[in-house]
Chain A
Amino acid sequence: MAGMKTATGDYIDSSWELRVFVGEEDPEAESVTLRVTGESHIGGVLLKIVEEIKRKQDWSDHAIWWEQKRQWLLQTHWTLDKYGILADARLFFGPQHRPVILRLPNRRALRLRASFSQPLFQAVAAICRLLSIRHPEELSLLRAPEKKEKKKKEKEPEEELYDLTKVVLAGGVAPALFRGMPAHFSDSEQTEACYHMLSRPQPPPDPLVLQRLPRPSSLMDKTQLHSRWLDSSRCLMQQGIKAGDMLWLRFKYYSFFDLDPKTDPVRLTQLYEQARWDLLLEETDCTEEEMMVFAALQYHINKLSQSGEVGELATTDPGLDDLDAALNNLEVKLEGSASTDVLDNLTTIPELKDYLRIFRPLPRPRKLTLKGYRQHWVVFKETTLSYYKSQEEAPGDPIQQLNLKGCEVVPDVNVSGQKFCIKLLVPSPEGMSEICLRCQDEKQYAHWMAGCRLASKGRTMADSSYASEVQAILAFLSLQRTGGAGSGSHPQGPDASAEGLNPYGLVAPRFQRKFKAKQLTPRILEAHQNVAQLSLSEAQLRFIQAWQSLPDFGISYVVVRFKGSRKDEILGIANNRLIRIDLAVGDVVKTWRFSNMRQWNVNWDIRQVAIEFDEHINVAFSCVSASCRIVHEYIGGYIFLSTRERARGEELDEDLFLQLTGGHEAF
C-alpha cells in the first residue's frame, strides 16, 4: 500500500496526500486526508475514506464526486492515474441519491430521493418506478422557473409536501400490488395518502389562483418552458442541481404509448392533470365548444373522484369485465325484445301525460313573434310526444306529434331560478323541429327528461334504465342546488367549488372574462350530458384523447434562426414532424416529417442543427431560445419513441435512446 516511510518520516514511494471532503459539496465539511499513489484504485480509496471517518453508517450509496471535472468517480477498478486525479483535485465523498422536491404534473409537490450520479434518463426511470408510472422515457425533468422576488409579502399558504424519501424500492422486480396500490405505498398512512394524491385527479383549482398564474400570451412565451429541460444523458449533479432543489416532472414527449387504465392509474391521472393544466393555462389553444367539453369532463371526473368511486381500480380481474360486457349485451338484447310482448305490456306501457308549457321557436327567418310558452296537454308514450290544446281534446288529433327517436335533447335548467326546460331538436324528413318543454318542478322535469333521453336512443320508458335515469337527474339537480352558491358570480374558493359546479375553475381564464358563470353552467351541463355515463378512467382517457386531437397539441416551440434567414422564427417540434412557423403571424410556413428524414447533425461549436430529408432537402438552423442540445434531444427522442411500436413489451433500449439523444459527449 501507499505510504511507505523511512525512519525520518519521508515517504519513499511515490505516494501523495489526497484530501477528500465528506458530504455534499460543502467546503466547510469535514475532510479526511489519505495517502495514495497513482496506482491506487478508486475502490481502495473509498475503503480508506470509510476507515478514516470511523463512523458506523451505511456508506453503500456514497461515491466520490470530482468537483473541477464535474464528474463522479464511479469505476471502482480504475486507478487515480487513469482518472487523472492529482493532489489538487477537490473530491467530495457524498451520497449518490439525494432528496429533491418534484413538482408533479398535477402541481403537487413531492419529496423523494433521486439519483444524482446516473444519467438523467435512468434517474427519471427510477423516479417513475417509485411513482409507478410506466414508460418513463416519455417523461423528463425541468428546472423550476426562478421565482421572482415578490414585492408585496403575500403569505403563500403552506403547501402540503408529500414525502417519499424514506421509501426504498426493491430493485429488479416490478412492485407488487397490495390493497389496490403498489406495495411500497401501503407502508404507512402518509405514503398511502401520497398514492391517492398521485392516482386520483385533483379538484379544480381556485379560479382566483388560476387567474393569477402566468399564461403564455404569444408563441414566444410558449418557447420559454422548453429552454428549461434538463439533459437526459448527464446526471443531475453535472447539471448543477443541488439536494433539496425543486424540479418539475412532466411528460416531455407527446407520444403516449399503450395507455391502459388498468395498469396505469398514476400515469393516466398525471397525464390527465398535465393536459388539464395545459388547457387551463392556455398553453394549447382550443375553441369554445372544445373548452365546454373539457370542462364537462373535468366536472365529471371531479364528481366521480370526490364521491370516492375509485373502487373501479380495484377490479383487476379482466374476466369480470368480459362478463360485464356480456351481461350488458344480454341486457340490450332483452331490452330490444322486451317491447315485443305487446299484449302483456299493453296495459303497462308507461306513459307521461301532463300539462306542460310549450314553446316552439319558429323556423328561420325568425320574425319577432312574442309568443311565449303556452300551456298544452302533453302525452308522452313510447318514443312519441303528442300535444293537445287541452286534456279534453286528447282523444282527437294532436296539434303535433313528434317521434323523438334520434333527436337531440338539451337541458336548459337553472335550479335557483326554478327554470326546468327541455329543448328538443327533432329530425324529420322535412328538417328539424325545435320545441321547448317547460316543467314545473324538479320531479316533473326528471321524469320527462329521462323519458326524452331514452326516447332519443329509441328506447321507451318501459326500459329498465328509466328509473335510474330519473334518479340520476334528480341527484344532478340537487348537486346544483347545493352548489348554487358557488355557481354564482362570486366564487368562494376551492371549498365551494368542490361541492357543486363552479364553472370558473374548469375553463381557461379567457372564458371567465367572456362569460358569466350562469351562462357557462348550462353549456357545460349540455356537454356533460354526453359524457355522464363514463367511468373515471374512461373520462380521463376521453379527456386525453380530446386533448390529443387538438391541432396545436403536442408541439414544443423553440426560437431558431434558419440558415440564410435574417429573422428569428419558431420551430415547432411534434411527435411526427417539424414545423416552421412565422414568428409574427403564427402561420405555418413549412412542415417536414420525421419519416422523410435521412439524418441530422449538430455542430456544437456554432450551435447549429442541420437536417437532411429525402429528395436532398437540407435544413439548417441555429437555436436561439433553447440550447441546440434540447432540440437535438427532442428530435432523437421522438425517433426513439417511434421505434417502440415494433419492440412492444421489450426492455427499454436505453443505449439507443442515449445514442439518439446524446452524442455531444463524444466530441
Chain B
Amino acid sequence: MEQLSDEEIDHGAEEDSDKEDQDLDKMFGAWLGELDKLTQSLDSDKPMEPVKRSPLRQETNMANFSYRFSIYNLNEALNQGETVDLDALMADLCSIEQELSSIGAGNSKRQTTETKATQKLPASRHTSKHGTLKGLSSSSNRITKAAHANYSLDDITAQLEQASLSMDEAAQQSVPEDTKPLVTNQHRRTASAGTVSDAEVHSISNSSRSSITSATSSMDSLDIDKVTRPQELDLTHQGQPITEHAISLRCPSKQAKHHTDFTEEQAELTPHSYLDRETSLLLRNIAGKPSHLLTKEEQAAKLKAEKIRVALEKIKEAQVKKLVIRVHMSDDSSKTMMVDERQTVRQVLDNLMDKSHCGYSLDWSLVETISELQMERIFEDHENLVENLLNWTRDSQNKLVFMERIEKYALFKNPQNYLLGKKESAEMADRNKEVLLEECFCGSSVTVPEIEGVLWLKDDGKKSWKKRYFLLRASGIYYVPKGKAKVSRELVCFLQLDHVNVYYGQDYRNKYKAPTDYCLVLKHPQIQKKSQYIKYLCCDDVRTLHQWVNGIRIAKYGKQLYMNYQEALKRTESAYDWTSLSSSSIKSGSSSSSIPESQSNHSNQSDSGVSDTQPAGHVRSQSIVSSIFSEAWKRGTQLEESSK
C-alpha cells in the first residue's frame, strides 16, 4: 500500500504544477532547437558516411515533426490539469504490450499472466491493482540491482522491458480510479524525480556504462521489427534510464503521462530522445570535438547514436502515422485520444460520441479553430483528420473542438433555404425536400446552387473592404468587373475551389474593421499565418453567409457531402435503434429547426448514470450554444424580412 499513500501525500501540491509544466514546455522547445543543431553538427562531423547523411537528416525533420506534434498536444492537455481521457492511449499501449510479450523472455510471462488474471476480475479491481503493483515494485527492485551489479546485458534488457510492460498494465488498471488532483501531483513529482536522476547518472555511468549502452543497442534491435505501434510512446519507454523506471513505478496511475514527462525531462537532459542518458551525455561532450580527438569510447558512442538513429528512422517511416490529439469539448473540458492517419473525421466523431456519451446527433462536429487568424471550419466527415492536423505548425494555437453545430447539416435538413437561391427562408414539405435533394445531388452531376450577390472583399494588406458582385459557379467563385454586364463571358474568376477551404471568420469587425461579423474566409489549408493568399469576404447578413458557405461546400465536395449526411443519418438512426428510444427524436432531427434542444435533452436522459466523468454543464452548454445559434438565425431572417 505504499503507492497509495504516496498519492495521498501528493494531493496538496496541486497548485504549483501548472507553472512547472510551462517551464518544462519552454525547455522542451529549447531542446528541439538544440536537437536540430546537434543533428547538424553530427552530420558535419562525419565525413566518412556521406551517402547516408543527407537523406537521414531530412527524414529526421519530417518524422520528428509528427512526433513532436503529438507530444506537444499531449503536453498541452496535461498542462491544463484537466480530466484527461486516456482510453485510446491505453488501448494502444495494450497492443504494444502484447507484441512485446511475444518477444519477451520467459520471466515476463509471469507478469503478463498475472495482469491478465486481474483483468478478468473487474469487480475486484482495487485489489487486483494492488497485486500488480506489488509485482511491479519487485521487478523494479531487481532492475535497480541489476544496474549496479553489472548483470548480463540480455537480462537487463528483458527486465527493462518487463518493467515497462507491467507499468502499462498497471496504468491501465488504474485509469478508472484516477482523479484530477492525483494526476497533476504525480506529474510534478516525476519532474522533480528527473532532476534527481540527473545527479545519479554519473554514478551509474561509472559503474555500468558499458552495460547500459549495450542494453540500448539490444533494445534497438528489438525495435526494428516492430511496425505497428506508436513510436513516441514506446520509444520514450525504452530509452528511460533505469533509475527513472524505479521512481515511476511508485506512481502507477497514468502511464501516458509519465511518458510525456519523461520526454520533457529528457528534453532538458539529452538532445536525442531515443538515446539513453549515458550515450547522449557522451555525445554532448563530443559535440564540439573534431573526430580524430575522440576517445575510443566516445567514438563508439557516436557510432551507436548513429545506428540507433537509423534504426529509429526506419521504424518511424514504416509506421502508420499516429497523432495524440486533444479534443476540446464545448464545456471547456477536453479529451485526449489517438488517431491514426487512416481515420476519417466520421470515425473520430463516432469514437468521440461513444466516449463522451453525448448521445447521437447529426450535429456533432469537429471544428478546427485557428485562433491566430480568428477563423474556424467544421471538418467534413469524409476528410482525413491527421492530414488536416499536420498542416498545423508545431507551436500552433489551433484547437480542435468537439461540439454540436447545427450548420453542419442544416443544408440537408432545410435544403430549400440553400439550394433554391432564394432570399427568404421558407418551409417545405418533407417530401419536397427529398425531391429537391435528389435533384441536386443524385443526378449525373451535382447542381451547384445559383448564389450571387454583393459581398464585401477585403483589400490585400489593408483594413478596407470593397463591394463586389460575386457569383458562385461549379468551376469557382467569380465577380462581375465594374461596368460590365452580368453574363458568363464577362465574369472574372476570383478563385477556383480545388485548393482552398472555406472558413468562418470570427469577430472580424474588430480585427479587420469588417462591415459586419458575417465573414467567410478562403485559404489553402496549409496557410496558418496572415498572408496575401488568404481571401476575406463579408456578407450583409448571417443568412447570406450560410448560403455562400454551403454553396461553396457543394461546389467543392459535390455528392460526397450528401453521402456524408446519409452516412451520419444512418449512424444516428442505428444508434437510436439499439437504445430503443422513440423515433420521434429522429424525426425532429431531420425536419424541425429546434433539433439541438431536443437532441441534447435526449442525450441528457440517455447519459444519466452512465458517465460520471461528464460534467452536467456539458450538456447544458451545448443546448445553450445551439439555441443561441438558432436564435441568431431566426433574428437574422426576421431582420431580412422586415427590411423588405
A289 to B496, CA, bound (A): 9
Per-residue CB contact flags for chain B residues 485-499 toward chain A (1 = under 8 Å, else 0) read 011110101001001
Chain A: CB-nearest residue to B499: A408
Chain A: CB-nearest residue to B450: A551
Q: Does B6 contact A (CB under 8 A)?
A: no
Q: Which residues of chain B come closer than 8 Å to A586, judged between CB atoms?
A: 487
Chain A: CB-nearest residue to B431: A595
Q: Which residues of chain B come closer than 8 Å to A545, judged between CB atoms?
A: 444-445
Chain B: CB-nearest residue to A548: B445
A591 to B420, CA, bound (A): 9
A406-B526, A431-B531 known; A340+B489 contact, CB < 8 A? no
Q: Does A552 contact B (CB under 8 A)?
A: yes
Q: Does B527 contact A (CB under 8 A)?
A: yes
Within the complex, what minimum Cβ distance (angstroms) separates A553 from chain B? 9
Instruction: Please provide the chain A residues from 339 to 386 with a CB less than 8 Å away from any CB of chain B in the complex.
Output: 339-343, 346-347, 349, 363-365, 381-382, 384
Q: Which residues of chain A come closer than 8 Å to B586, judged between CB atoms?
A: none
Within the complex, what minimum Cβ distance (angstroms) separates A428 from chain B? 6
* Contact in complex: B393, A550 (CB < 8 Å): no
Instruction: Please provide the chain A residues from 273 to 289 with a CB less than 8 Å away from any CB of chain B in the complex.
Output: 285-289
* Contact in complex: B488, A552 (CB < 8 Å): yes
**Contacts across chains A and B counted by CB atoms under 8 Å:** 121
Q: Which residues of chain B come closer than 8 Å to A408, judged between CB atoms?
A: 499
Within the complex, what minimum Cβ distance (angstroms) separates B454 from chain A? 15
Q: Which residues of chain A come closer than 8 Å to B52, judged between CB atoms?
A: 346
Q: How many residues of B contact A (CB 8 A)?
A: 52
Instruction: Please provide the chain A residues from 545 to 596 with a CB less than 8 Å away from any CB of chain B in the complex.
Output: 545-546, 548-552, 576, 586-587, 591, 593, 595-596
A8 to B534, CA, bound (A): 107
Within the complex, what minimum Cβ distance (angstroms) separates A528 from chain B? 15
Q: Does A331 contact B (CB under 8 A)?
A: no
Q: Does A3 contact B (CB under 8 A)?
A: no
Chain A: CB-nearest residue to B317: A340
Q: Does B104 contact A (CB under 8 A)?
A: no
Q: Does A510 contact B (CB under 8 A)?
A: yes
Q: Return the contact of B460 from the options A364, A550, A576 (Cβ within 8 A).
A: A364
A347-B51, A381-B58 known; A287+B529 contact, CB < 8 A? no
Mostly, the A contact residues are loop
Q: Which residues of chain A come closer than 8 Å to B532, judged between CB atoms?
A: 363-364, 431
Q: Does A429 contact B (CB under 8 A)?
A: yes
Chain B: CB-nearest residue to A286: B488
* Contact in complex: A340, B318 (CB < 8 Å): yes
Within the complex, what minimum Cβ distance (angstroms) separates A374 from chain B? 24
Q: Does A476 contact B (CB under 8 A)?
A: no
* Contact in complex: A343, B493 (CB < 8 Å): no
Q: Does B473 contact A (CB under 8 A)?
A: yes
Q: Does B118 contact A (CB under 8 A)?
A: no
Q: Does A645 contact B (CB under 8 A)?
A: yes
Q: Return the contact of A256 from the options B439, B444, B448, B491 (Cβ within 8 A).
A: B444
* Contact in complex: A382, B55 (CB < 8 Å): yes
Within the complex, what minimum Cβ distance (angstroms) separates A420 from chain B? 24
Q: Does A432 contact B (CB under 8 A)?
A: yes
Chain B: CB-nearest residue to A257: B444
Q: Does A337 contact B (CB under 8 A)?
A: yes
Q: Return the contact of A431 from the options B318, B446, B527 (Cβ within 8 A).
A: B527
Per-residue CB contact flags for chain A residues 405-432 toward chain B (1 = under 8 Å, else 0) read 0101000000000000000000111111
Q: Does A544 contact B (CB under 8 A)?
A: yes
Q: Which residues of chain A come closer than 8 Å to B313, judged between CB atoms?
A: 342
Q: Which residues of chain A come closer than 8 Å to B461, judged between CB atoms?
A: 365
A545 to B474, CA, bound (A): 10
* Contact in complex: B59, A342 (CB < 8 Å): yes
A587 to B480, CA, bound (A): 14
Per-residue CB contact flags for chain A residues 99-120 toward chain B (1 = under 8 Å, else 0) read 0000000000000000000000
User: Assuming A259-B444, A365-B461, A595-B432, what are 8 further A-B pairs, CB within 8 angstroms?
Assistant: A286-B488, A430-B527, A430-B528, A430-B531, A432-B524, A432-B527, A510-B489, A549-B447
List 18 A-B pairs, Cβ < 8 Å.
A259-B444, A285-B489, A286-B488, A287-B473, A287-B491, A287-B493, A342-B317, A346-B52, A382-B55, A382-B58, A430-B528, A430-B529, A431-B529, A432-B524, A548-B445, A551-B450, A595-B432, A595-B435
Ordered nearest first, which 5 A-B pairs have the shortest CB separation? Answer: A431-B531, A549-B474, A285-B488, A429-B528, A427-B526
